[in-house]
Chains A and B, each alone.
Chain A
Amino acid sequence: MRCEDARPLLLKGQHAEAEAHLESCEICFGWLEAHDPIVAVLQAARPTLSPVPASVASTVLARWQPHRVSLGMGIAAAIALSVLGLGLSALSILAAPALAASFLASVSDLAAIVQAVAAGLLAVPRALLFDQPLGLAAFTAATVAACALWARLYQQSQLPRRTVS
């Protein structure tokens, strides 16, 4: 359908073929808008700007909760816990030295047990890796590759994403 045939049909009312022409014709779309008196009426009826109620901002800010704890707060918390731990340790040693000594001896015995178990567990991989340079090299290469992949994935997660709206 040609533009000059479609336009009078579109002005009169609904017409399937004329509307199909309009869907793909930018010129007819612009012509119809320019010749439709309702467009100017609508534009003249545009409402003036209204002030925003004060409750909008206060409601949003009351609902908003930051997701993350800041790095500074995290460091401060770590320092505070360390100081608390050291303080309690010092207090227990000063207040009850015998009890503290007994506790430390138990910890030392436990550490010796853990060390023996770890040595046993590591004996096999130690033999495999240190006695086999190729094995050690392969293990090192795999570790480096895993670290590189992790770094790449982390970098990608920090890139700006497409907006979704």
Chain B
Amino acid sequence: MDDAEAIDLLRQGDRRGPQVLMERYQMSVYNLSLRMLGNTADAEDATQEVFFKAFQRLEQFRTGEPFGAWLQGIARHQAIDMIRRRRTIPLAAAEPSRSLDVEAAAIASLDRAQVQAALRQLDGREQALLVLRYWEDQPIELIARTLRISEGAAKVALLRARRALKERLEARKGTGRAL
């Protein structure tokens, strides 16, 4: 059964429609939510909301366009809304390193868990920018649209987010903090 048939069943009130669509797309939606939100509980809530909203707002879906891409758009906005509702307590930033070569070597030696932990310490919007760009490979215009800012502002915000992550990683490296 293809997406168009599943959507028709959904519109007719046949349960098979939403079942097929969920089986097909819940993996990508859940993992996008998990990468943006950083924990399984929020990712579960976000995924449920995404599908529920998609099924309720099916009249907004433009027939002929990929259903998965439409769903991903709802998922990005849902994650951004949840990030905005969070209360974040900013941590003090470390002093930036003076030498770019030393800095590059220090950062390269960090493992995946340390990088992910440092990312989660950032402001919600900075997390969203870095996740969408470097984990979800989204183009800058789509990121700007998701965050409701201009493309120029998104470019600058992305640069600042990378800088903030670099400072967090250097602070971890400097204190030798174990994860």
Residues in A lying within 8 Å of B, measured CB to CB: 10-11, 13-14, 19, 22-24, 29, 32, 36-47, 49-53, 55-57, 59-61, 63-64, 66-70, 160-165
Contact = CB atoms under 8 A, between A and B. Distances in A.
A96 to B, nearest CB: 43
Interface string B120-140: 000000000010001100001
A23 B108 contact: no
Residue of A43, A51, A165 with most partner-chain B CB within 10 A: A165
Given A23-B155, A45-B115, 4 more contacts: A47-B112, A64-B52, A67-B13, A162-B60
A66 B162 contact: no
B153 A23 contact: yes
Contacts of A22: 152, 155-156, 159
A64 B61 CA distance: 17
A42 B162 CA distance: 9
Contacts of A37: 103-104, 107-108
Contacts of A11: 100
B159 A10 contact: yes
Interface of B: 11-15, 18-19, 22-23, 26-27, 30-31, 34-35, 40, 44, 47-48, 51-52, 55, 57, 59-65, 70, 73-74, 77, 96, 100, 103-104, 107-108, 110, 112, 115-116, 119, 130, 134-135, 140, 150-153, 155-156, 159-160, 162-163, 165-166, 169
Given A60-B22, A63-B52, A19 B156 contact: yes
B62 A163 contact: yes
Contacts of B73: 163, 165
B108 A41 contact: yes
Contacts of B119: 42, 45
27 contacts: A23-B152, A32-B159, A36-B162, A37-B108, A38-B169, A39-B134, A42-B119, A42-B130, A43-B134, A45-B116, A45-B119, A46-B134, A47-B112, A49-B31, A50-B40, A52-B30, A52-B47, A56-B26, A56-B44, A60-B18, A61-B18, A61-B19, A61-B22, A66-B12, A68-B13, A160-B62, A163-B73
Contacts of A19: 156, 159
Contacts of B47: 52, 56
A29 B34 contact: no
A33 B148 CA distance: 22
A163 B57 CA distance: 9
Q: Which of A19, A38, A44, A59 has the most CB of B within 10 A?
A: A38
Given A61-B19, A67-B13, A165-B74, A53 B134 contact: no
Contacts of A24: 152
Nearest to A71: B12
Nearest to B35: A47
A164 B11 CA distance: 18
B12 A70 contact: yes
A68 B30 CA distance: 29
A51 B52 CA distance: 20
Contacts of B108: 37, 40-41
Contacts of A60: 18, 22, 48, 51-52, 55
